[in-house]
Amino acid sequence: MLDVKSERELMAKAIKASKSSYSPYSNFQVGAAILCSSGKIFTGTNVENASYGGGICAERSAAVTAVSQGERKFLAVAVFGSFKDAREDGLQYAFPCGICRQFLREFAAKDMVVLVGTSEDDYKKFSFYEEILPHSFGPEDLNMEA
C-alpha cells in the first residue's frame, strides 16, 4: 500500500510532531502521524497533565484531529518516541498503548499499517489487525441485526 518514500514522509512528520510534546513529568516525547484515505496526514503529540489521567497520547491526539476534520478511515499511522535529549543510541521503538490501539481500531482500514521508528530510515512496519491488535472488538461487533 505505502511505498518507502511515503513511509519515510509519515515517520518524518511523527518525529517533527514529537518536538511539540508537553511531557514535563515523563520527559518522554511522542509524535504520531496518521495517513487518511483522503490522502491527508494529521499529526499529534502527547500532552501530559499534573492529574496524570488527564493526559492524552500522541496517537489519540492525531486521531481526534483527523476525525474532527471529517476523516473516518485511517490507512497508516507512524509513531516516534524518545526521552528528551536522548542520544541516537538511546532511542527505542514506541508502540501505541492499549487505549490508543482500541481508539485507532474504530477508524482503521482493513489493511492499515503501523510504523514505529527511531528515525526516517530506521522503522519497523506492522499490520494493525494481524500484529498490533488481533482479535479486536469494533463497531461491527455492536451490530444488533446479526
Out of 7, 59, 71, 131, the active site residue is: 59
Give the integer Cα–Cα distance in Å for 130 and 119: 24
Q: Is 7 annotated as catalytic?
A: no
Catalytic residues: 59
